[in-house]
Homo-oligomer: A and B are copies of this chain.
Amino acid sequence: MKPIKIGIAGTGVVASGVVNILKRNADEITRRAGRDIEVIVVSSRTRAKAEALVGNDVQIVNDIMEVARHPDVDIVVETMGGYEPAKSFVLEAIAHGKHVVTANKALLAEHGNEIFKAAQDKGVTVAFEAAVAGGIPVIKALREGLSANRIEWIAGIINGTTNFILTQMREKGWTFADALKVAQELGYAEADPTFDVEGVDAAHKITLMSALAFGVPIDFKAASIEGISKLAAADIAYAEKFGYRIKLLGITKRVSNGTTDGIELRVHPTLIPESRLIANVNGVMNAVLVKGDAVGATLYYGAGAGSEPTGSSVIADLIDVTRTITADPEHRVPHLAFQPDSLASIPMLPLSAVKTRYYLRLTAQDRTGVLADITRILANHDISVDAMLQTEVDDATKEAHIVIMTHVSQESNVDTAVSEIKALASITGGVVKLRVEELG
């Protein structure tokens, strides 16, 4: 069979991974795909950069749209990232009947519904394994491997930068700022780390997995997002005393009972029992835990970023598309796991509706009756205490920390209680609230 012809937009880290792996493993890839997969055109604003990557046998163009419209290209690979010109490029390629492979989670989380609709109408595939958890084939697991299941929830460490920072904070007792600095020096965090540390990147990824798991449209705006930049080393240490690790998790959960039917979609630092496998995923590694009603809990672990891990997923998508390229569009694996005409309309739940366990840390003056005040407020709001710890009073500040682990409570009740606790005269240093997930 004749080779499948690829056009790549971009010459950055992901593109390098794709090109290098395609070259190095050409033989095995052809033996798997059934035909050669050949890069025939690359776009770059810097010709020298493109030449360094692909040599002289591959056409190099200035304008990405030449890739999107190239008459010989079967599949385009979008490696630019960001919203524009990535979106225009992808839509133009679709309009020209090209299949698309992309690693762009931001683009798909914000504009995926429009993009997948365009692909559906045109009868082409938009594949995005590399957009979530880098080299880990978790999109495939959700879309195909677990397709028998009613998915109950997903909880994932899906941002390597923040996992590296949290690991350093725990192992070395560093502050967030110290750990971030080291992450930047090592190239694990960008100069402007906002997207990573504030949880936006993780929210893009869990939004995509939420749609795949529950058969609903992609709804990034419904995500509640809290990053790790305000996390104190003290809370990591207290969590450890209770047997928990703190990880930035992307969580999506189907809540379905007598009173509520909806989907939770949230990213925040989370206490996890240290005995869970996912609590022991450290450094820049990623892991996604998926709970299905038939299979139970399954976990997928690996490198969540980097040139070759991301390239690995891009090429897996290229091989998937290649293997089944003659299939009629009605008989392809649907983009979002569910057939596009059978997406469900399930309400996205606000954070106030979440029911889980909570970790609270109060900084209080050492006065008689402070514990009585706090426990009375918690009881008033239907929050029962599972465990409590009070530190010795600091000689200088005359303050002590009170750490409370609650039983399952409702977020809105906890928020009201926290407001009332903050208003107590003895609470001088504010209240830290973190969520706890057992992931059992």
Question: Which residues of A are at the interface with B, using a C-beta cutoff of 8 A?
Answer: 17, 21-22, 24-25, 28-34, 129, 135-137, 140-141, 144-150, 215, 277, 280-281, 287, 292-303, 308-309, 311-316, 319-320, 323-328, 330-334, 337-339, 342, 344
**In the complex, are the beta carbons of B332 and A25 less than 8 A apart?**
no
Give Cα A296 to B344, complex, Å: 37
Cα A302 to Cα B301 with chains together (Å): 12
Contact B299 A299 (CB under 8 A): yes
Chain B residues, CB < 8 A from A298: 135-137, 300-303
> Is B135 within 8 A of A294, CB to CB?
yes
Chain B residues closer than 8 Å to A147, beta-carbon distance: 29, 32-33, 315-316, 319-320
Separation in Å of the A279 CB from the closest CB of chain B?
A: 10
Q: How far is the CB of A303 from chain B (nearest CB, A)?
A: 5
Give the shortest distance, in Å, between A68 (CB) and chain B (any CB).
Answer: 23
Residues in B with CB closer than 8 Å to A144 are 137, 140, 316, 319-320
Q: List 6 A-B contacts (CB under 8 A).
A: A22-B148, A28-B215, A31-B215, A140-B144, A298-B303, A326-B330
Most buried by B among A148, A316, A334: A148
A423 to B337, CA, bound (A): 63
Distance in angstroms from A166 CB to nearest chain B CB is 17
Q: Using known A-B contacts A298-B300, A312-B294, determine if residue A328 contacts B326 with beta carbons closer than 8 Å.
A: yes
- Taking CB atoms, residues of chain B closer than 8 Å to A293 are 24-25, 308
| A31 and B342 contact, CB distance less than 8 A | yes
- In the assembled complex, the CB of A268 is this many whole angstroms from the nearest CB of chain B, namely 24
A147 to B26, CA, bound (A): 11
Nearest Cβ in chain B — how far from A408, in angstroms? Answer: 25
**By the criterion CB–CB under 8 Å, are A315 and B29 in contact?**
no
* A215 to B27 Cα, complex, angstroms: 11
| 6 nearest CB pairs, A to B | A137-B145, A148-B315, A298-B302, A135-B295, A299-B301, A31-B342
A141: chain B residues within 8 A (beta carbon): 137, 140-141, 145
Cross-interface CB contact of A334 among B34, B129, B140, cutoff 8 Å: B34
> What is the minimal beta-carbon distance from A204 to any residue of chain B, in angstroms?
21
Chain B residue nearest to A31 in the complex (CB)? B342
Provided the pairs A137-B146, A148-B312, A337-B32 are in contact, do residues A300 and B300 lie with their beta carbons within 8 angstroms? yes
Given contacts A33-B147, A137-B145, A324-B331, list 7 more A-B pairs with CB under 8 A. Answer: A277-B277, A287-B299, A292-B312, A294-B308, A296-B302, A298-B300, A323-B334
Which residues of the partner chain B approach A314 to less than 8 Å between Cβ atoms?
148
A338→B137 contact, CB < 8 A: no
Closest residue of chain B to A134 (Cβ to Cβ) is B295
- Rounded to whole Å, the gap between the CB of A128 and the closest CB of chain B is 13
Decide: A21 near B324, CB < 8 A? Known: A301-B298, A309-B295, A309-B296: no
